[in-house]
Amino acid sequence: MNRHVNAISGRLSLRPPQRRISLEILQRITEIAPPGKDTDSAALLAAIQSEFASVTDFEHEFPSLCFALATGVGKTRLMGAFISYLYLDHGIGNFFVLAPNLTIYNKLTADFTPNTPKYVFKGIAEFAVNPPTVITGDTYESGVGVRETYRQQTSLFPELDGVHINIFNISKINSEVRGGKSPRIKRLSEYIGESYFDYLAGLPDLVLLMDE
């Protein structure tokens, strides 16, 4: 078994559904179909189907997977485990977490923030010294995520400079498009020099996580 899966499962005290039917499957999928931006989706789908026949279609132009867990099992903690694994085993540092409503958005923001009661990375040694930078739908226009990414790109040791987690509320984004307007995330930001949407789209390793 993968050493990072073992370590993460122990440190986060993952339940059997979180580990065996989620994290271990993600590890195996990324082993037979390594993640990357410029990949052949058809080839990746065929590789995944060779072991997981239930994956019939990505339903997007990029590889997309759904992990269905019962309510109360701990989907937020599982997100933390996924992020930890993808960072530690594959060096992926940029994540976009999409919440369906304001209640879950606020909960996710709190749970991904250090020193909160249900902090999802508690026990992950690599994040103890350098916790992930959390950017939300309320703070992204300050350019905090862009500044941190620039620092990472110019660092002597970028692989040690951590993770960026963007947390947004889809219902708020949808409310901004009423009347034919574009959402704020797609509008030009003078501070950034482009829209935050375009900035995210240009990242080489962005992973989208959705709490449905």
- The set of residues, in sequence order, having a beta carbon less than 8 Å from that of 201 and lying 6+ positions away, is none
A 10 A CB-CB count for 211 gives: 18
Q: Which long-range contacts (CB under 8 A, 24 or more apart) does 48-54 make?
A: 52/25
| 161 close to 91: Cβ distance less than 8 angstroms | no
pLDDT confidence of residue 56: 87
- Give the CA count within 13 Å in the CB-facing half-sphere of 23: 32
| 55 close to 48: Cβ distance less than 8 angstroms | yes
pLDDT tens for the chain, residues 1 to 212: 789 999 999 999 998 889 988 999 999 999 988 888 878 888 888 999 998 988 888 888 888 888 888 877 888 999 999 999 999 999 999 999 999 999 999 999 999 999 999 999 999 998 988 899 999 999 888 877 776 654 455 444 444 457 999 999 998 888 888 777 788 888 888 777 889 999 999 898 999 998 77
Q: What is the pTM of this model?
A: 0.88
pLDDT confidence of residue 160: 43
Between CA 10 and CA 16 the distance in angstroms is 11
Q: Which two tokens stand for residue 75?
A: 């989907």
Backbone CA torsion sign across 23, 25, 31, 37: negative
| 12 close to 77: Cβ distance less than 8 angstroms | yes
Between CA 165 and CA 182 the distance in angstroms is 23
